[in-house]
Amino acid sequence: MTDDEANKNRLHNEAMKALKAERDELMRTKTERRGLLIVHTGDGKGKSTAAFGMVVRALGWGQRIGIVQFIKGKWKTGERNFFTKFPDLVRYEVMGEGFTWETQDRARDIAAAAAAWATAKEMIADPELEFVLLDELNIALRYEYIDIADVVAALKARPLDKHICITGRNARPALIEIADLVTEMTLVKHPFQQGMKVQRGVDF
């Protein structure tokens, strides 16, 4: 090892030691444990996908899960193929009728959303389920298929130890306000754009 390299290593190691002390001090103050209300929103990809990743983690710790899909219809998806293999651990309900531009029927969309929300409330109350995923609920709220005040009330009244994750773009401000953890997925680059000119604000 050269002197320069050894010096670089020494400086790095000292900096990391200081960082570790700082982090330990920070973590010491974070002692509260309770179920979190988590929202994944934004125009980028990864909102539902990250929620499925959380389901995997929860399953890895032996937790039981409830999933309601508010928009996705009966077509096959990889996540559905996979999670429905574990019926004892995952209650998986696909209750949408497809995207709004597929159904082209507002009355039917509203009826489907109401039924999905009834199931969601059941899961939120079910003491057997430790994690509940309400996939694309934000879409149903955005189109006012479900009343935001009802949703906020049910979420606030949830059992204290229950984790709930809600996905979909255009999360309503009232939901963000009561959430514990909100992540926005932002599109930086998408394969659809290829062949198009690279644009500031989109591609870099």
The dihedral over CA atoms of 56, 58, 60, 61, expressed in degrees to the nearest 10, equals 180
Element (H, E) at 40: strand 37-41
**Structural tokens at position 88:** 């004892």
| 170 or 186: CB nearest a second copy | 186
What is the closest distance, in whole angstroms, from the C-beta atom of residue 136 to a second copy in the complex? 14
Binding residue for a second copy, selected from 46, 152, 154, 159, defined by CB under 8 A: 46
**Separation between Cα atoms, residue 69 and residue 28, nearest integer Å:** 38
What letter represents residue 56's amino acid?
A: V
CB of 65 to a second copy, least distance (A): 12
Task: Calculate Rg over the CA atoms of the chain.
Answer: 21
Write down the residue that tokens 């009728």 correspond to. Answer: 97
Residue 189 structure tokens = 């680059």
Q: Which position among 147, 150, 161, 180 is part of the footprint of a second copy (CB under 8 A)?
A: 180
Residue of the chain from 78, 87, 127, 201 that contacts a second copy (CB under 8 A): 78
Smallest distance from the beta carbon of 68 to a second copy, in angstroms? Answer: 17
Q: Which stretch binds a second copy (CB under 8 A): 67-75, 120-128, 151-159, 190-198?
A: 190-198
- Residue 74 binds a second copy, judged by CB under 8 A: no
How many C-beta neighbours within 10 Å does residue 36 have?
13
Minimum CB distance to a second copy smaller for 71 or for 121: 71
Contact 119, 94 (CB under 8 A): no
Using CB under 8 A, which residues numbered 108 to 167 contact a second copy? none
Nearer to a second copy, 60 or 127 (CB): 60
Cα separation, 109 vs 2, whole angstroms: 68
Distance of alpha carbon 6 from alpha carbon 126, whole angstroms: 58
What does the binding site for a second copy look like in residue numbers (CB under 8 A)?
1, 8-9, 12-13, 16-17, 19-20, 23, 30, 36, 39-42, 44-46, 48-61, 77-83, 100-107, 173, 176, 179-192, 194, 204
